[in-house]
Amino acid sequence: MKLVLASKNQKKLTEMNDILARLGVEVCSEAEAGVDLEVEETGTTFEANSLLKAKAVMEASGLPAIADDSGLCVECLGGAPGVYSARYGGEGLDDIARYRLLLENMRGQMTRAAKFVSVITCCFPNGDVLTARGECAGTIAYAPMGEGGFGYDPVFFVPELKKTFAQLSAEEKNAVSHRGKALEAFQKKLEEYLK
């Protein structure tokens, strides 16, 4: 079975394929499906944005489409950047500038609890919709550590592993990450759905 990923993030595509390959599911990019969409994320929840993206790409491609809407929620910032994680600080910033801004906004904060959230939605051309959510709890480090991953990975510290996401291998990250957990839950729902 082939799913189109409603995202232009190559790293998300690799993470999804790594996890869903066990089910015999192939995830292809929008480009491979001949789709080039800029879906406006107008929702205020991960669920709403995930559905917006998956539905738009399913309608444009005519194929089942899967979307992940994810982000980092920081307790002392009232849950920010949350659904605005990709746009934190405005459109002009890159990943490094965004996590530096986050560290700056948390300067002097001793309470550094945070969580990553991922909501996966899969929309089928017949109107069926599957949804799964995953969360990963951690803390925001005082300085970036590690070279791997993307986004806020260098500043997201997992206390049980004593490492940031950027210090983990892809397999280690997938085993504990919000997206890994959401995909695991999604995998179960998809297995049930395909029976």
- The residue ranges that bind ligand IMP (CB under 6 A) are 7, 9, 41, 68-72, 85-86, 116, 149-153, 165, 177, 179
Nearest of 180, 75, 192, 85 to residue 136 by alpha carbon = 180
Q: 37 or 86, CB closer to ligand IMP?
A: 86
- Tell me whether residue 64 or residue 151 sits nearer to ligand IMP (CB atom): 151
Nearer to ligand IMP, 12 or 25 (CB): 12
Q: How far is the CB of 53 from ligand IMP (least distance, A)?
A: 8
Pairing between β-strand 113-123 and β-strand 129-140 as defined by DSSP bridges: antiparallel
Q: How far is the CB of 126 from ligand IMP (least distance, A)?
A: 25
**Minimum CB distance to ligand IMP, residue 194 (Å):** 25
Torsion angle of C-alpha atoms 32, 33, 36, 42, degrees rounded to 10: -120
Residue 95 appears among annotated catalytic residues:
no
Count Cβ atoms below 10 Å from residue 23 Cβ, excluding itself.
15
Taking every pair of Cα atoms in the chain, the longest distance, rounded to a whole number of angstroms, is: 53
Nearer to ligand IMP, 64 or 134 (CB): 134
| Three-state SS at 161 | coil
Contact predicate 165/156, CB 8 Å: yes
**Active-site residue, selected from the candidate residues 69, 94, 128, 153:** 69
**How far is it, in rounded angstroms, from Cα 57 to Cα 6?**
6
> Omega of the bond prior to 81 within 30 degrees of 0, cis?
yes
Residue of this chain nearest to ligand IMP (CB atom) = 151
Nearest approach in angstroms of CB 152 to ligand IMP is: 4
Catalytic residues: 69
